Amino acid sequence: DSGVTQTPKHLITATGQRVTLRCSPRSGDLSVYWYQQSLDQGLQFLIQYYNGEERAKGNILERFSAQQFPDLHSELNLSSLELGDSALYFCASSLGQGVYEQYFGPGTRLTVT
Amino acid sequence: GDSVTQMEGPVTLSEEAFLTINCTYTATGYPSLFWYVQYPGEGLQLLLKATKADDKGSNKGFEATYRKETTSFHLEKGSVQVSDSAVYFCALRATADGLTFGKGTHLIIQP
DSSP assignment letter at A25: P
What are phi and psi for residue B84, nearest 5 degrees?
A: -80, -5
pLDDT reported for residue B8 = 83
Inter-chain CB proximity A48 and B98 less than 8 Å:
yes
Choice between A98 and B80, residue whose per-residue pLDDT is larger: B80
Distance from CA of A11 to the nearest CA of B (A): 15
> pLDDT tens across B67-80, in order?
999 999 999 999 99
pLDDT reported for residue A101 = 86
For residue B51, list chain A residues with Cβ-Cβ distance below 8 A: 99
pLDDT reported for residue A66 = 97
Q: Say if residue A78's pLDDT is above 80.
A: yes
Inter-chain CB proximity A101 and B46 less than 8 Å:
yes
Q: Which of A46, A98, A106 sits opposite B96 (nearest CB)?
A: A98
pLDDT reported for residue A83 = 96
Distance from CA of B13 to the nearest CA of A (A): 24
Distance from CA of B87 to the nearest CA of A (A): 12
> pLDDT tens across B12-69, in order?
999 999 999 999 999 988 899 999 999 988 889 999 999 999 999 999 999 999 999 9
B104: left (phi over 0), alpha (psi -120 to 50) or beta: left
Inter-chain CB proximity A90 and B44 less than 8 Å:
yes
Inter-chain CB proximity B104 and A43 less than 8 Å:
yes
pLDDT reported for residue A100 = 81
Q: Which of B42, B51, B99 sits opposite A102 (nearest CB)?
A: B99
Q: Which residues pair with B86 in a beta bridge?
A: B107
Residue by residue, DSSP assigns A44-103 as EEEEEEETTEEEEE-S--TTEEEEE-TTS-EEEEE-S--GGG-EEEEEEEESSSSSPPPE
Inter-chain CB proximity B98 and A45 less than 8 Å:
yes
Give the C-alpha separation, B10 to B13, whole Å. 10
Give the C-alpha separation, A85 to A92, whole Å. 19
Nearest to B85 by CA among B48, B49, B41: B41
pLDDT reported for residue A39 = 87
pLDDT reported for residue B30 = 86
Mean confidence (pLDDT) of chain A: 94
Contacts of B30 (CB under 8 A, 6+ apart): B52, B53, B68, B94
DSSP assignment letter at A26: P
Q: Which amino acid is it at B29?
A: G
Q: Averaged over B74-99, what is the pLDDT?
A: 93
pLDDT reported for residue B34 = 96
Give the C-alpha separation, A60 to A34, whole Å. 9
CB pairs under 8 A between A and B: 54
Inter-chain CB proximity A99 and B93 less than 8 Å:
yes
> pLDDT tens across A29-59, in order?
999 999 999 988 899 999 999 999 999 999 8
